[in-house]
Structure formats: C-alpha cells, structure tokens
Structure 1
C-alpha cells in the first residue's frame, strides 16, 4: 500500500446541510459550502466528520454527501470520516462511500476505538488493509468515549504505516499536539472548533481540521504563522476568537455553526438531527452581533 501524508494547512470539515424538516440532505447547500472552501483556498476537505452529523445519516445519505462533495471540488483532496469504532463496521461504512468515488480519498478518518495501543493498532491496520486507503487517526474522547494516553497514541501511529495524519482533539489539545508533533513524522492537526489553534501551531501542529463557520479566519491564522510566526498569527486570529468561543458551546455548537452558515448564505437551513439540540432562541441575536464584528463573516452567497 502506498500512502501520502496530508499536506499542511486548513482542511475544512463540512457540515451536512439538511432540508428544514431535517428529513433529507440539501445537496444544493452542500455544493455552495464546498465551492466556498475552494474559493478561499482550503488545503482540502473533510466530509462525514462529527460536524457533518455522519452518525445520524443513512448509508444512502452518506453516499449522497460524498458524491456531492467530490463533484463540487474535484481539485481538492478529500478525507472521509468513518463513525464506527469497530473495525468491521468501519470497513462496511468505507465500502459504502468508496463505491461512489471516482478517485481515491486522501484518507479515511478513523476514531481511536480503545485505550489499549495493541487493540488500536489492530483496528487501524484492519481498516487500512481491507480498504487499501491511508488512515487519519482521530483522537476525540468526548465523542468516542475512549481516552488513550498521548504517549500510547504516538506508539500506535508509529506502528501503523498507513497513517497519513493525526487529528488531535483530546482536551487540553496543545499539550497533546506538542507530544504528538515531536514524536511523529506524520502531520498533526488540531480540531475543537479552532479553540486551541494558535497554541497548537506554536507547539508544532500542521494546521487545522475543523468546522468553524468562518474558515477564512483559520486560513488567515495558519498562513500568518507560516509566514510570520506566532506574533503574526496571533494578530491575524484575534478578531475571530470571540466567534470561535461563542460557537464552540457544549451541546449546541453544531446548531450555532449551522445558523452562522445560514447567515453567511452558505446553507439554507440550520436544521440538525436529534440528539443534537437546536440553538437556544435567546442566543441567536448574540450570534448576529458576533458575525457583524467578525472579518469575512458578512453574507458571501445568495
């Protein structure tokens, strides 16, 4: 198996837009969202991640998402998320979506499924060997319910030749990113809505792989760090931080980001699927105040 490490930069994690009743995937909105990432210079895209509500989509809907994203951005590399922690179930998910792709993805994103390094090596190796694809190793204990020691995760990734990147979302993320980046030859990306982005860059991350609703800010920060270091990145990121903090509220982050994307004209409806909670009504005017004061957050599409 020949795999290629992910390029550094910003890999946009896509929301899955739904019709107002939440019953179907809104492919027109998904296409607009993807085309926006192309316009602003994203390094790549990630579909069917946690932000994409992948675990709440049917197999047919997952195919629809992957087919739509690939058609809307044939020039951008694509990471595809797998929701299942069990290797057999993850392979079934992969087979379903790979069947509709006319090109290989940049990687399959697989969540760490055990605190035991040997078990995780078996899990990731099984998915890689059965699918023939590179693996983005995602460590997100809040979503997976699995916590693995960072030193053990370094050991795991070293033992999986198919690993093409790590997405580190074990809070607090900067200490974990520092250990991973120092110990691995594959790139390490931060997530968590960009809440730790500046500090993650400072300790060695390769960029961001997350679903912030104004990804122009992620790109500005990452590019500024590359060109001018910490001070330049801090200056570029300051104006985005209040919105980053506001959007990443436990339990309602998904709904808030979808409302932001609606205000930006990138998707048509903020509908989410249970058990995700809708955005509390009293916070919606506050969201508008944040958007009015955030660079690039004015309406960008009709």
Structure 2
C-alpha cells in the first residue's frame, strides 16, 4: 500500500443537499456546491462527513452522493467519510461506495472508536488493510461519544502506517492540535466549523477540514497565514468569525449552514433530517446580516 499525506490547505466538507421534503438527495444542488469549491480553489473535498449528514443517509444515498461528487470534482482529491465506529461497519461502508469513484480517494476518514489506543490502531489498520486506502483519523468525541486522551491518540496514530492525516475536533482544539503536531509526522487539520482555525494555524495545523458555508473565508485565512503569519491571518479572519460563531450553534448548526448555502445560491433548500432541527425563523434575518457583512 502506498499512501501520501494530505496536502495542506482547505478541505471543504460538503453538505448533502436534500429535496424540500428531505426525502431524497438533490444531486443538482450537490453538483453546484462542488463546482463552487472547484472555482474558488479548495485543496480537496470531504464527502459524507458529519456536516454531510452521512449517518442519516441510506447506503444507496451514500453511493449517489459519492458518485455525484466524484463526477463534478474535476481533479480535486476526495476524502470519503465513514460513520461506523467499528472496523466491520466501516469496511462495509467503504465497500458500498468505493466502486463508484473512478480514481482512488485521497483517504477514507475513520472515526476513533475507542479510548484505548491499541483498539484504535487495530480498528483503523483493519480498515486500511481491507480497503487498500489511506486513512484520515477523525477524533470528534461530541459526535462519536468516544473520548480519547491526546497522548493515547498519538500512540494509536504512530501505529497506523496508512494514516494520511488526523482531523482533530476534540474541544478545546488548539491544545490538542498543538500536541498532535509536535508528536506526529502526518498533517493535522482542525474542524469544528472553523471556530478555532486561527489558533490552530498558530500551533501548527495544516489547515481546515470543515463545512463553513463561506469557504472563501477559510481559504483567505489559511492563505494569509502562509504569506504573512498570525497578524495577517487575524486581519482577514475577523470579518468571517462572527458568521463562524453564529453558524456553530448546537442543534441548529447544520440548518443554519444550509440556509447560508441557499442564500448564496449553492443549494436549493435548507431541509435537514432529524435529529437535526430546522433553523428558527427569528434567526434568519440575523443570518442574512452576517452574510452581507462578509460577502466576498
């Protein structure tokens, strides 16, 4: 198996647009969203992440999403998310979608399924060996329900030869990112909607892998940090941060981001599937104010 670390930069996490009654995937909107990422110069795309409601899609819908994105993504590399916390489930999810892509993905994103580093290493290595793919190790305890100590995560990743990156979403993220960067040879990306992006860059992250609805801001911040360091990135990012924080409200974050994407013309409806909740009508004028304030 030959694996390559993920390139630094911005890996957009795609929303899965749904029809107005949330009964099916809206492939036309999904294609439009992908084409936007291609136009703005994203480093790569992540499919079937948490922001993509992967856990609420049927196996056939997951195949539809992956096939649609792969067809529209041009040469952008793709990371495909797996929702299962066990190796057997993750391998089944991978087998369901890998045959609809015409080129190998940059990696499969596997969630940490245990606080025990030995179990994590065995879990992830099993997925890598059976699929023949590189692995992005995702630590997202709020979603997975699994909390692993940073030192134990380091120990696990060191024993995963196929690791191509770590996506660190254990809050507070900057200390975790700092410790991972100092101890690992693979790139470490932040997520969490971009809420910790500037500080994560300052402690050595490779960039962002998240679903913020205005990814131009992520690109501007990461680019400014590369060119001018912390002060330059802070100057750029402060215009976007109010929207980042607004969109990251617990329980309604997904719906708010989808409303943002609708407002921008990138998808047609803000429909979400339970347990995600629709955005309160009272917040939509506020959302539009935020969008006007940081329009590219």
TM-score class, shorter-chain normalisation, is: over 0.9
How far the C-alpha of 1:102 sits from its partner, in A, is 1.1
Q: Deviations over 1:160-204 (max 9, x none)?
A: 000000000000000000000111110000000000000000000
1:260 aligns with 2:260: yes
Q: Distance in 2 between matches of 1:32 and 1:196?
A: 28
1:90 aligns with 2:90: yes
Q: Distance in 1 between matches of 2:102 and 2:96?
A: 13
Q: Deviations over 1:32-90 (max 9, x none)?
A: 00000000000000000000000000011000000000000130000000000011010
Q: Distance in 2 between matches of 1:84 and 1:294?
A: 36
- 2:233 maps to what in 1? 233
- 2:129 maps to what in 1? 129
How far the C-alpha of 1:155 sits from its partner, in A, is 0.8
Runs ≥4 in structure 1, deviation > 3 angstroms?
Answer: none
Structure 2, unaligned runs of 5 or more: none
- 2:17 maps to what in 1? 17
Q: Distance in 2 between matches of 1:183 and 1:37?
A: 32
- 1:294 maps to what in 2? 294
Alignment of 1:1-302 (within 5 A): 1-296=1-296
Aligned residues of 2:38 and 2:74 also touching (Cα < 8 A): no
How far the C-alpha of 1:99 sits from its partner, in A, is 1.5
Q: Distance in 2 between matches of 1:222 and 1:148?
A: 28
Q: Distance in 2 between matches of 1:138 and 1:49?
A: 10
How far the C-alpha of 1:295 sits from its partner, in A, is 3.0
TM-score, scaled to structure 1: 0.97
Q: Distance in 2 between matches of 1:174 and 1:275?
A: 29
Q: Secondary structure at the match of 2:189?
A: strand
Q: What is the RMSD computed on CA atoms of the aligned residues?
A: 0.5
Q: Distance in 2 between matches of 1:64 and 1:290?
A: 33
Q: Secondary structure at the match of 1:99?
A: helix
Q: Distance in 2 between matches of 1:295 and 1:175?
A: 31
Q: Distance in 1 between matches of 2:100 and 2:229?
A: 41
Q: Distance in 1 between matches of 2:27 and 2:213?
A: 18
TM-score, scaled to structure 2: 0.99
Q: Distance in 1 between matches of 2:102 and 2:261?
A: 29
How far the C-alpha of 1:18 sits from its partner, in A, is 0.2
Aligned residues of 1:239 and 1:295 also touching (Cα < 8 A): no
Structure 1, unaligned runs of 5 or more: 297-302
Aligned residues of 2:22 and 2:273 also touching (Cα < 8 A): yes
Q: Secondary structure at the match of 1:108?
A: strand
